Structure 1
Amino acid sequence: MKKLLTVLLAAIFLLAVAAPALAETAPIRVGFANINEKGSFGKMVLQNMKKVAAERGYEIICVDNNSDGATAVQNADTLISMDIDIMIEFNVDQSVAPVIMEKFNAASIPVIAIDIAHEGATFFGADNAFAGTLAGETAGDWVNKNWGGEIEYVVLIVQPVSGPAVAPRVKMFPEGIRNKGIAFEDSQIVEIDGQNDAQFTQARFADFLLAHPDAKKIAVATINDVAASGVYAAAETAGRAENIVLVSQNCTADFVEPMYAVEGKTNWIASIAYFPNRYGEFVFNIVDKLVAGETLEPAYYIDHIAITWDNIKEWYPIDNLPWAGL
C-alpha cells in the first residue's frame, strides 16, 4: 500500500510540473469571421486561412458572416465566448463595426479587419483608391484605342452599405479615366446602388439603358464581379454589349471563366485582382508580428493588378485556377 501511495504521489507531482508546460505550448486560438461562403471569393479566403493557420501552428475557429451585419455581431459574441486570443474580422456592413469593436475591445482581443476598416483594428486589404484609379486607367486605355477617346456616360455601380472606405474602388474610376486624357463633365457620371446583388444590378442597369437608348459609349465600374455580371447581362439582353466598356473588382471565377469562354472577345475587359487565395498568407503574416510583440502598422495593403485577356494566362492559368475543386 505504501508503495502504491508513493507511485500515486509521484504521478501527481509529475502532472503538476507538466501542466504549466502544456499550457505554455497550447496553440494560440484565432477567430475568423468570413465575408460569406456562397461564392468562390469567400471560399478561397476560407481555404487559405485554414491552410496557413495549420501550417503555422495556430488553432482557427471559423464562422460565416454571410455578408450580413446582424450575423457579424452574433458571430462576434460566439467567438468571444470561445476564448479566442486574436480576431480576424471580414465584415462588409460598416454600420455595425463600432458594435463589433466595442465587444472585442471589452474582451481585450486584438482585431485584424479585412477590406472594411473597423476603428481600432489593424487593417488588411484593398488599397481602394489605387484599385479604383487602376480600373479607370485600364478603361481609359481601351477607350482611347477603341472609341477615339470619347465617352458619353460613366456609370458607377456603388455599394453604400460598405461605407466610405470602400467607396474609392468605384469613385476613383472617373479620375483614372481622366488620367488617360479623356475629358467629360461630372454631369455625365451616373451612380447606381447595386445592393451587392447581380439580379438587382441587372434590373437597375437595364433601366439606365432604357432611359438612354442613344448612348453608344458608356464606361462602367462595379465594386465586384457579382455586380459586373449583372451589368453585362443587362447589356447583352438589350443587345448593347458593344455600347459599354466594363471594369470590375476582385477577379473571381465570375470574371475569369467567362473571359476564357469567349477568348477575350468581350467588353467586360478587366477585373482588378485582390488574390483572395492568398489572404491567409497575408493576414497570418500580421498575426505572426502580433504574437511576436512587434509594433504593427495601422494598415497593410494588397498589390493590385488589372487582369485582362493579355495577362490572364500568367496570373490565372486555366489548368490551375485557385477556386478549382471548391
Structure 2
Amino acid sequence: MKSASKITHKATSAKRGYTVQAVVRAAAILNAFQSTSEVLDLRVIASRVGLHKATTFRLLETLVETHLIERAGKQGYRCCVQPARTKRYRIGYGSQTSLLPFTATVSDGLVVAANAANIDLFVLNNGLSPRVALQNADTFVAERVDLVVDSQINIGVAAEIAVKFSEARIPFIALDIPHPGAIYFGADNYKAGRMAGRHLARWATKNWKNGPEQIILLGVDAAGPLLNARLTGVLDGINEVSTLGHNIPTHHYDTKGGQFEATLDIMRRHIRRRKPERALVGAVNDSTALGALQAFREAGIERSCAIAGQDGSLAAREEMRRPSTRLICSVAYFPETYGERIIRLALDVLKHKPVAPAVFVQHELLTPQNVDQIYPNDTWMKSSPERI
C-alpha cells in the first residue's frame, strides 16, 4: 500500500503538470499592484515579482494589449483590475499630535497611502502625552491590529510601549525616535543637525565681522538625547567649520514638545534677560525656529539673530522667501513622501520580507537661495499657510 505522503506528492505533481508558467508570471505581475490607483514603473514591478526586466516588459505589454494593465505616463503602468487580497490588513497609527505641521503632513500622507493599498488605518492621537501614548498602545493591542506605526517622542515610556507590542506579537514601526525592538523610520537626527550647524557657521563668518556672541539651542527634552541629537549636530557642525562655537555662551531650552507658542514665550524671556546682539539659533524643528524668529521680530532686533530650523515645512519655506529673512536655513525631510514609504515598509513586514532595522529619510538643506528650486510648486498653492 502506498503511503499518504507519496499519494499527496503524486497529486501535487499532477496539478503542477497543468500549470502554465506564463500565466503564473502574468498573475504575479497583476498582484504586484496594491490597488488600481497605484502607478509603478518597470523596475519596481520587476523587483516585486522577481523577474528579469526584459521578461517583465514583455508580459506587461501583453497585459496592456489585453486591457488588464494600462500605461500611465511615459514609464508607468496601472492595473485595471482590483488585485485579489486574502486579507485586508488593519494598521494602527498613533499620531504624535495634530498641532505640528510636520506631523499633520505625515498623517495626511499615511491616510491616502493606506486607502490606496486597501488597508484599514486605525488612527489615534498621542497628543504629545506619555500617558495617552500608553493608553493608545493598550487600545491597539485590544483591537488586535496587524501592525502599529507609532509617532511618540517621550523616551520615558518608549520601552514600556515596545514591550506591550512585543508581548502581543504586533510588529512595530517607530517614527521620530527609536524604540526597543521596533523598526525605526525617520531622520538621521545628528546628520541633519550637522548640516544646519555648518551652514550657520558659514553664514556667521560671512555676515558678522566679530562672530556670534551667543548660541541658543531649542530642543525637546522629553525625547532625551535622541531628538536633541539634532542640537548636538548643530554644535558639532559649527565647530567643524570654524572655531566660532568654542568659548561662546550656549543656552539650551526645552520647548515643551517643539511647539511655537512655548518657544515664543521662552525666547521673549531670553531676549529680555540676555539682550542678544549676534545670536546663532539651532532649533529642533521649524515650529520652534519660527517661534524664536517671531520673538526677535517683536523685539525689533531681528537682525541680531541667524536661525536654522528642521523639517522644511511650508511655513518655513514661505518665511525663507521673505527678503532679508533671518531664518537662514531648514533641513528638509520631505514628510509629504512618508505615507507611501511607510505603508510599503509595513506591507513588507506583514508579508515577512526582509527589512532593515532603520530606514532613514532623505535630508536636504533648504536656504532662501535654493528654496524655489527644491520646492517650485509652492506658488501653485491657493491658500496661504496658517500661523503655526
Specify if TM > 0.5. yes
Unaligned runs of 5+ in 2: 1-83
1:271 has 2:333 as partner: no
Determine the C-alpha separation between the residues in 2 that align with 1:79 and 1:122.
17
Over the matched positions of the two proteins, sequence identity in percent amounts to 26
**2:274 maps to what in 1?**
212
1:251 has 2:321 as partner: no
How far off its partner does 1:320 sit?
Answer: 4.3
Per-residue CA distance 1:104-161 (angstroms, 9 max, x = gap): 1111001000011111101010100101101101112211221147221111112110
How far off its partner does 1:55 sit?
Answer: 2.1
Determine the C-alpha separation between the residues in 1 that align with 2:210 and 2:123.
48
Per-residue CA distance 1:235-280 (angstroms, 9 max, x = gap): 11221110110001112133123333x2x42111111112111111
**2:46 maps to what in 1?**
none
- For residue 147 of structure 1, the aligned residue among 208, 223, 247 is 208
Determine the C-alpha separation between the residues in 1 that align with 2:238 and 2:381.
30
Look up the equivalent residue of 1:289 and give its one-letter code: D
- What pairs up with 1:65-104 in 2 under 5 angstroms? 65-104=126-165
**2:358 maps to what in 1?**
299
Look up the equivalent residue of 2:234 and give its one-letter code: F
Determine the C-alpha separation between the residues in 1 that align with 2:382 and 2:154.
27
How far off its partner does 1:182 sit?
Answer: 3.6
Q: How many residues align?
A: 301
**2:373 maps to what in 1?**
314
Q: TM-score, normalised by structure 2?
A: 0.72
**2:235 maps to what in 1?**
174
RMSD over aligned CA atoms reads 2.3
Runs of 4+ in structure 1 displaced over 6 angstroms? 322-326
Question: In the alignment, is the contact (CA less than 8 A) between 2:319 and 2:327 conserved in 1?
Answer: no
User: Which structure is higher in RCO with an 8 Å CA cutoff and minimum separation 6?
Assistant: 1
1:297–1:199 Cα change, 3 Å:
same
Per-residue CA distance 1:159-186 (angstroms, 9 max, x = gap): 1101211111112111111222243325
- What pairs up with 1:232-243 in 2 under 5 angstroms? 232-243=293-304
Determine the C-alpha separation between the residues in 2 that align with 1:150 and 1:257.
27
Determine the C-alpha separation between the residues in 2 that align with 1:198 and 1:325.
14
Question: In the alignment, is the contact (CA less than 8 A) between 1:150 and 1:182 conserved in 2?
Answer: no
- What pairs up with 1:87-236 in 2 under 5 angstroms? 87-148=148-209, 150-186=211-247, 188-195=249-256, 196-213=258-275, 215-236=276-297
Q: TM-score, normalised by structure 1?
A: 0.85
Look up the equivalent residue of 1:204 and give its one-letter code: I
- What pairs up with 1:33-48 in 2 under 5 angstroms? 33-48=94-109
State the structure with more CA Rg: 2
Question: In the alignment, is the contact (CA less than 8 A) between 2:268 and 2:295 conserved in 1?
Answer: yes
Unaligned runs of 5+ in 1: 1-22
Question: In the alignment, is the contact (CA less than 8 A) between 1:40 and 1:323 conserved in 2?
Answer: no
